Amino acid sequence: MATNQKETVIIGAGPGGYVAAIRASQLGQKVTIIEKEYIGGVCLNVGCIPSKALITAGHHFHNAQHSETFGITTSNVTLDITKMQEWKDTKVVNMLTRGVEGLLKKNKVEIIRGTATFTDKNHLIVETKDGSQDLEFKNVVIATGSSPLAVPEVPFGGRVVDTTGGLNITELPKRLVIVGGGYVATQLAFAFNNFGSKVTILEKEDSIINFFDKDMVKLVKKSYAEKGVDVIEGVNITKSAQTDDTVTVTYEKDGKEESIESDYVLVSVGRVPNTSKLNLEAVGVKLLENGRINVDESLRTGVEGVYAIGDITPGPAFAHKASHDAKIVAEVISGKDSIVNYKTMPVAAYTEPEVATVGLAADEVKGNKEYKVSKFSLAGNGRALSLDANEGFVRMITEEKTGKVVGAQVIGVSAGDVIAELALAIELGMVAEDISLTIHAHPSLGEAVMDTAELAMGLPIHM
């Protein structure tokens, strides 16, 4: 087998891999990207993007039935789940993945479709449909992402699906049990509820989405209760059983055994890094106990020329973390003295209402007199009122002495978008007055950020 000489090889074409490939090429490197399944990775194909498409479709279906507030009454509203899935796949997912492939080609990135395995720290074997290729590389970036974590008591198969199966479901369940209460689980609970499913969440921890401040979680739970979603926390699942038509999950809570029957069970309890089949032993890269690859602040693995980014490294498994890593690692390989900076990495969940946080959390600084916490209710925001979405708030955490913005939370409509301005403020070391002096369009949700800044200054207009 002939050996092909490569400069920089990227393994995986997800939001980490394809971004690294494009940026490395822009910086003058000759880049080859290897992808065994999806251009765009899990995120674009069976994760972030299709889940938001389903959430949006759920909102439209629910709103079509419940718009009496606006003086709009409709009847005979129906859902064609096949047509919805067709829209999701063709108009959203396929359009984005084709776009990413086009960007790779435009930036002169060589694409090899196949499965990569290391033979040593400078060589890979890639198995493709046309046979094997031996690649010798100068640099390699491992960006292989992650896969759904299984629950032994509720094994995948039949009517037990992972998030990929849940997003591609063609039979709307009348009853759906979701095992897990993290980012994806809580979002999909609202989506299926809006489609008309009776949803129950089973969470082993004391609280769902417990990485957000308690008052934010409280509002999400309130919304669940109003919409008829049951949230059962602190459970220990012991077993499950399937028939042709149902799944029964048995669990313990407070010392009592309970069972719940549903049409489907969607398991979303986290993800595991895709590192076990790379033969990293041949490279000399050692794995942490959780299967992730330890890296320094420049994404180096400790083996010369070998880097790792995204889900397979320590930290949260976010697409935007992977993309940030990707740009940094491309710069490092190109000789720049670059390091990752996660202090302004936002966290968002597209629940109802949406929740987002960046920097220091309110629960984190509670009782600490070095910080000031300022909260502005969306009930005082004209745009939120006009959207009939005035539940929620913008919160800003500033240093008491300097007024410097060091943390923020948003709960409410478009929280995932609104949080970006606050992340930028933290990144630039801005003080509250900088935000207050920035003219915001009226009426807009962004004005709530300005109002929060003025509150932090002690000069509120709309309170």
Give the Cα separation of 21 and 11 in Å (integer): 10
Give the Cα separation of 55 and 45 in Å (integer): 15
E strands, 3-69, where?
Answer: 3-11, 31-35
Query: Counting Cβ atoms within 10 Å, is residue 82 exposed (0-12), middle (13-18) or buried (19+)?
Result: exposed
Cβ neighbours for 198, distance < 8 A, ≥ 6 positions apart: 174, 175, 176, 228
Active site residues: 442
Helix (H, G, I), strand (E, B) or coil at 366: coil
Cα–Cα nearest to 13, from 326, 359, 366: 326
Query: Counting Cβ atoms within 10 Å, is residue 248 exposed (0-12), middle (13-18) or buried (19+)?
Result: middle
First to last CA, the chain: 73
Q: What is the largest CA-CA distance in the chain?
A: 73
Tokens of 352: 């109802």
